[in-house]
Amino acid sequence: MTAVPNVSVGSGAAGAAIFPDSDSRRYRYFEPRAKRATHYEDVTVDVQPDPERYLLQNWIIAFPNGKGAYYKDATAALSSNWHAFRAPDQEWERTHYQRQSKIEGMVQSVIANGRKSGAPKAFDKSWVKILQNHLGAWKHAEFGLGTSLMQAQRYGYTQMINNATLTNSSYKLRLAQDITLYLAEIGMDIPGFDDNAGKHTWLEDKGWQGTREAIEAIMGSGDYLEQYFATNIVFEPLVGELFRSKFLMQVASPNGDFITPSVISAAEADYERNLANAIDLMHLLVTDNQHGAHNKKLFQGWVNKHVALANKAAAGLQPIWSQPHSKPVQYADAHAQSVERIKKILGELGLVLPKE
Amino acid sequence: MSGTLTLNKITAQRGISVGEAAKKIADLGWNPSYVQEAMTFPTDYKITKAPKDPMKQVLRSYFPMQEEKDNRVYGALDAALRGDMFRNVEPRWVEWMKLFLAIIPFPEISAARSMAMVGRLAPGEDLRTGFTMQMVDEFRHSTIQMNLKKWYMENYIDPAGFDITEEAFGKCYATTIGRQFGEGFLTGDAITAANIYLTVVAETAFTNTLFVAMPSEAARNGDYALPTVFLSVQSDESRHIGNGHSLLMSMLKEPENHLLLERDLRYAFWQNHAIVDAAIGTFIEYGTTNRDKNKESYAEMWHRWIFEDYYRTYMLPLEKYGIKIHHDDVQLAWKRLTDKKYVHKVGQFFAVGWSANFWRIEAQTEKDFEWFEHKYPGWYAEFGNFWKWYEKLSHRGQTNILFNGDVGYVYPHRCWSCLVPCLIREDIVTDEIDGKLHTFAHELDRWTAVNAFAGEYQGRPTPAMGRFSGRREWESVYHNVDMADAIKDLGFVRTDGKTLVAQPHLRFDAKEMWTLDDVRGHILKSPLETLRAMSPADREAHLAEYRKGFTINPCN
């Protein structure tokens, strides 16, 4: 049925009448980062309120210790304004689904087309073992980071921090699943492929125990910001990119595998976004006019702790570089590049890389 | 060439089944041995059996499916504008969306956060993907609803109220009820909050009225955007219901959980009824202009969705697992919606307080009265005069209905538990918590605050259970404050610095719009502070009088 308007002006449309604020067509309760609020800001800022921003009655349900739904000391970091952060990737639901869906479509097409052309059967035999054992083990590292960030997104003091953490978690969990299903699918084409070997390697193989320990240290942290920091500022450049970009992406095709780099490439683009978000947030905290020094000291402690774990992890993975038939990249070069990369990241935050 | 041969069939290759894919994904987790995950969200429940994932959920199919759903939503919003939807929309309806859409994104994102809580507590990895998807779903719901609100703000005749939405949510005397709902999802015992209150009761039972019944009413009022967004939201709920049920089933295996399950099902059902029915019932019954007698009333829909569907097919079967179900509570809620006219008392309360809110409320008129009387016999005798008064007092120069002694309305006490006022006057009860007197809308609300949200339940320690906190009675924030000053402090003033955001009518004309000067000179009082200040004898006399109710004076 067609509703009949019940107003004197005969229309419910913008501009049908002029009266005070009939033209107030922007959210006016927050300060946009630039002159005009972005779409991301409009749908994100202040959706999670707190007593500083609008909760007139304070939190109305508390944990048994008296703390409300969100509290600032869920991290040891301090901020004079937790509300200032805006995620540089400007992610909200629509952009998130568009991007994730596009990646899934790309990954599935590459795998399907590769399998149609019989590509997995042409993979170098020793490379197949690497995929089975080591890429198979790596999927658990990605999953661990994903679940850790899923945990972390509960705690941030603002919607902007938590949503950036949530999308980071979503990207990691997608990648873990992509790798799982990729290996299962090519496994059907490769006689003798053991789909369970990856988990066994992850749990038992000596070379992987450093990585597992580094991941479990991030998962086990009770400080959500440490989890986010350790993932993006330390583990990813020193171990994540090292294994993905500087091993899988570069070594696969010389060993007859053009599928794996495509499956993994999305993760590199994911990381660029997550890194930008993480650096921006941490930069705000180290340059905070009240708490900058405190945060810098805290972050340096996190760097020291997680770099030591990440170095141990990377060293444990070193033998994998010598396992393929074709070895276009040397571990030492790859490792040196990852050290340069983290130095650059830490440099942006005024932090230093501890000596190995 | 065979007529049935298609390209898909020619190029098809062996793949892995959905079940197999879900199984492999469930094997991604492991038990950490180097560093244990901290149990940061405590629960008093014991969960040893790993819940199963009935939906066999995989992100590879999830993301494209959700993107497709989004494409349809955003395409429909564009089409609504091209079709000039707002020219034909009913402002009475859209005004109430200022309240609804101020509230709902927070409970949604709270649900996203709470997935972290159940994700870590549930043993095994089978359901972890389900919780992950729910987390991303809730992120979807929260931002898609914020987008819808922005869209209304940009295209509806009066954007005021939408333009202060999240600030208003934190301050308003009505949104405080919605905050009790949203904070309940993520504070206190993790299972009570994120599984029973959120998933087993709110999502499984009450999203039907929220996200299915409301869109139907929106469409009847020329609003095709809300159904588009909210039916898309509701399509995610079946997965969430599956998550909740699966975790519930694994908890049922432990007999020592049964007492807590009984407590939490009772609390969650009663409070969902008190909050969701108050809000959604009001939107549907008072936000509409459609008075088709053939359509279902809110009470009739409630009977179908909550009583027949949820109570009979979801709650009752739990009895065979040894869970005590409080049948009387369901019957009582039904009686409150019908005989006690709960929703209508809420609608009346919101209207009385119009000047302290951030949307317009139009008077119900003769053409509405007939429908109400048809659906809720006895309605006219109880509410007819009130709405006549409301219409009469909607003009500037009249005394604000909140303070107008001619009307006969008695401002209610606020329930310390559900935060909806004690509107069914005869049911008010009081009790003390930590030596402080509180008022409750019903004995079950008292039980919720005093017995359920406590460190011990029926002799069993419940150290993880949450506590009610904060300045829960909104009125106490502005006790002894002039109405105009309170509104100014709330920020519910238009940018000219004087015209109120709220208006008691839909007259889009500056001359008709109330300003701070029109409401100045009346002092707000906290009913609770006032009650606490009385002597015991005066208090008893006051409560006895309160329980008798009030009569609205004839309006000529």
Residue bearing tokens 């009333």: B297
Neighboring chain A residues of B169 at a CB cutoff of 8 Å: 49, 54
CB pairs under 8 A between A and B: 374
Chain B contacts in chain A segment 219-258 (CB below 8 A): 219-222
- Quick one: pLDDT at residue B50? 85
pTM listed for this prediction: 0.96
Average pLDDT, chain A: 96
Interchain contact A126–B (C-beta under 8 A): no
Q: Which pair of structure tokens corresponds to residue A347?
A: 């440099």
Rounded CA-CA distance B392/B404 in Å is: 12
Interchain contact B74–A (C-beta under 8 A): yes
What residue of A is the nearest CA neighbor of B474?
A: A57
Interchain contact A178–B (C-beta under 8 A): yes
CB contact under 8 A, B163 and A26: yes
Neighboring chain A residues of B67 at a CB cutoff of 8 Å: 97-98, 100-101
- Quick one: pLDDT at residue B48? 86
CB contact under 8 A, A21 and B64: no
Q: Which pair of structure tokens corresponds to residue A304?
A: 């020291």
Nearest neighbour of B28 by CB, restricted to A8, A57, A180: A180
CB contact under 8 A, B58 and A1: no
Which of these, A133, A148, A240, lies nearest to A194 by C-alpha position? Answer: A133
- Quick one: pLDDT at residue B209? 83
Top CATH class of B59-361 equals mainly alpha
Q: How distant is the alpha carbon of residue A116 from its chain centre?
A: 32
Q: Which pair of structure tokens corresponds to residue A140?
A: 């658990």
Residues forming beta bridges with residue B457, ordered by sequence position:
B460
Interchain contact A59–B (C-beta under 8 A): yes
Interchain contact A216–B (C-beta under 8 A): yes
Residue A7 pLDDT > 50? no
Interchain contact A43–B (C-beta under 8 A): yes
Interchain contact B395–A (C-beta under 8 A): no
Residues 6+ apart with CB under 8 A from A70: A48, A50, A59, A155, A156, A157
Q: How confident is the model at residue A4 (pLDDT cuts 50, 70, 90)?
A: very low
CB contact under 8 A, A21 and B179: no
Q: Which pair of structure tokens corresponds to residue B106?
A: 């927070």
pLDDT digits (tens, 9 = 90+) for A58-84: 999 999 999 999 999 999 999 999 999
Residues forming beta bridges with residue B503, ordered by sequence position:
B360
Chain A contacts in chain B segment 30-59 (CB below 8 A): 30, 32-38, 40-41, 58-59
Spans of all domains in chain B: 59-361
pLDDT digits (tens, 9 = 90+) for A128-172: 999 999 999 999 999 999 999 999 999 999 999 999 999 999 999
What residue of B is the nearest CA neighbor of A202?
A: B30
Q: Which pair of structure tokens corresponds to residue A158?
A: 């603002």
- Average pLDDT for residues A28-39, to the nearest whole number? 95
CB contact under 8 A, A219 and B64: no
Q: Which residue has the higher pLDDT, B31 or A21?
A: A21
Q: Which pair of structure tokens corresponds to residue A216?
A: 């479990």
Interchain contact B433–A (C-beta under 8 A): no
Cα radius of gyration rounded to whole Å, chain A: 24
Closest approach of chain A CAs to the CA of B340, in angstroms? Answer: 28
Closest approach of chain B CAs to the CA of A170, in angstroms? Answer: 7
CB contact under 8 A, B472 and A60: yes
Interchain contact A115–B (C-beta under 8 A): yes
Are A246 and A338 in contact by the 8 Å Cβ rule? The answer is yes
**Three-class SS of residue A157?**
coil
- Quick one: pLDDT at residue A140? 98
Closest approach of chain B CAs to the CA of A75, in angstroms? Answer: 13
Give me the torsion for CA of B150, B151, B155, B161, rounded to 10°: -30
Interchain contact B112–A (C-beta under 8 A): yes
Neighboring chain B residues of A174 at a CB cutoff of 8 Å: 59, 63
Nearest neighbour of B163 by CB, restricted to A27, A43, A222: A27
pLDDT less than 70: residues of chain B = 1-3
Neighbour count for residue A81 (Cβ, 10 Å): 12
Average pLDDT, chain B: 95
- Quick one: pLDDT at residue A1? 38
pLDDT digits (tens, 9 = 90+) for B108-141: 999 999 999 998 888 877 888 889 999 999 999 9
Interchain contact A119–B (C-beta under 8 A): no
Nearest neighbour of A56 by CB, restricted to B135, B170, B494: B170
Closest approach of chain B CAs to the CA of A296, in angstroms? Answer: 25
With residue B456 as reference, give the H or E element that holds it.
strand B456-457
Neighboring chain B residues of A209 at a CB cutoff of 8 Å: 34
Are B97 and A10 in contact by the 8 Å Cβ rule? The answer is no
pLDDT digits (tens, 9 = 90+) for B384-414: 999 999 999 999 999 999 999 999 999 999 9
Neighboring chain B residues of A263 at a CB cutoff of 8 Å: none
Cα radius of gyration rounded to whole Å, chain B: 25
CB contact under 8 A, B513 and A28: no
- Average pLDDT for residues A230-245, to the nearest whole number? 98
**Three-class SS of residue A17?**
coil
Neighboring chain B residues of A6 at a CB cutoff of 8 Å: 90-92, 289, 362, 506
- Quick one: pLDDT at residue A8? 63
Q: How confident is the model at residue A284 (pLDDT cuts 50, 70, 90)?
A: very high
